[in-house]
Amino acid sequence: MKVTLLGTGDATGTPLIGCECPTCMDAHRGGKSRRLRFSVLVESDKGKVLIDTGPDLRQQMLENNIVHVDGVIWTHGHYDHYTGFAEFHRVQSNVDVYGITETLDYILDYLYFLKPIRHDVLMYEPFELIGLTFTLFEVKHPPVKKAVGVMICERNKKVVITSDAQKDIPPRSLELIQQPDLLVVDAIVPPTIKVKKHMNSVEAMALAKEIEAKEIVMTHLSHYFKPHDEESKILPLGYDGMVFHI
Ligand SMILES: [Zn+2]
Ligand SMILES: [Zn+2]
Ligand SMILES: [Zn+2]
């Protein structure tokens, strides 16, 4: 399978409006610190699935030449993870959307003017799409009551995407996501900045070690990291348009 990080930014994106820090200035100059909001594209030889649809989706579809998707999976009902879905409007109708019931209820209430085809999925129950097996697993991301990460398997290959998550991943999820070939992990800030809803970069590295991830890439990154070219010498930071062949 092929995994593309369409957007590696946090809810504000980088540059942050009005900010002149070195990272935002690098982003303004077109450096890899420029981060659109969260979306991941998963592809097989049978099709394309989007994990979340951030508000920058139109731009991401144009930049990555995405003209059709075979499904959308939503991890939770935060603005930066679903509002770009309306970018499909008049481009593609009858989109198949997947998620746990609480998430679909919330998002489809907001997107009431669109008519996607709804598929309610239970956590820990695998389902097939584009020849790949997807499993939603519980993560903690308060104040969201129920949020999920996504595990994607193809034969003996495994990709785990935490989406937005605190470090205390529930035991049942930890058991499921052991030894992934690739871990795409929420690491919103360096440990010098305090946040509760997400992992910082140290916690993300600890999770990767705990589950024995073969490869790790950090996403949902804020402007609190140093400019990408500098910080990525030390940390496995993702960047927009980064591709993995698993
Ligand atoms: Zn987010
Ligand atoms: Zn900044
Ligand atoms: Zn969130």
Average pLDDT over residues 7-30: 98
- Tell me the one-letter amino acid at 83: T
Percent of the chain with pLDDT over 90: 96
Q: What is the pLDDT of residue 113?
A: 87
CA of 78 to the centre of ligand 1 (A): 6
Q: Are strands 39-44 and 2-7 parallel, antiparallel or unpaired?
A: antiparallel
- Identify the CA nearest to 141 among candidates 80, 89, 94: 80
CA of 10 to the centre of ligand 1 (A): 6
CA of 193 to the centre of ligand 2 (A): 14
Find all residues with CB under 8 Å of 169, minimum gap 6, and list them: 139, 140, 149, 162, 177, 207
Q: What is the pLDDT of residue 109?
A: 96
Taking all residues of the chain, what is their mean pLDDT, rounded to a whole number?
Answer: 97
Find all residues with CB under 8 Å of 139, minimum gap 6, and list them: 147, 148, 149, 162, 163, 164, 165, 166, 169, 170, 173
Inter-residue contact 183 to 217 (CB < 8 Å): yes
DSSP one-letter code for 235 = S
Q: What is the pLDDT of residue 88?
A: 84
CA of 231 to the centre of ligand 2 (A): 14
Instruction: Please report which ligand is nearest the Cα atom of 11.
Output: 1
Q: What is the pLDDT of residue 129?
A: 98
Which two three-digit tokens encode residue 154?
């193809």
Instruction: Please report which ligand is nearest the Cα atom of 77.
Output: 3
pLDDT in tens, 130-180: 999 999 999 999 999 999 999 999 999 999 999 999 999 999 999 999 999
With a cut of 90, say whether residue 231 has pLDDT above it.
Answer: yes
Q: CA–CA separation, 146 vs 143, rounded Å?
A: 9
Domains of the chain plus CATH, in order, are 2-245 (3.60.15.10)
Instruction: Please report which ligand is nearest the Cα atom of 144.
Output: 3
- Identify the CA nearest to 241 among candidates 50, 40, 14: 40
Tell me how long the chain is.
246
Neighbouring residues of the ion ligand 2, judged by CB less than 5 Å: 16, 19, 21, 24, 223
Q: Are strands 117-120 and 96-99 parallel, antiparallel or unpaired?
A: parallel
Average pLDDT over residues 95-121: 95
Which two three-digit tokens encode residue 194?
């305090």
Q: What is the pLDDT of residue 158?
A: 98
CA of 37 to the centre of ligand 1 (A): 8
Q: pLDDT band at residue 122, thresholds of 50, 70 and 90? A: very high
Q: What is the pLDDT of residue 152?
A: 98
With a cut of 90, say whether residue 99 has pLDDT above it.
Answer: yes
CA of 19 to the centre of ligand 2 (A): 5
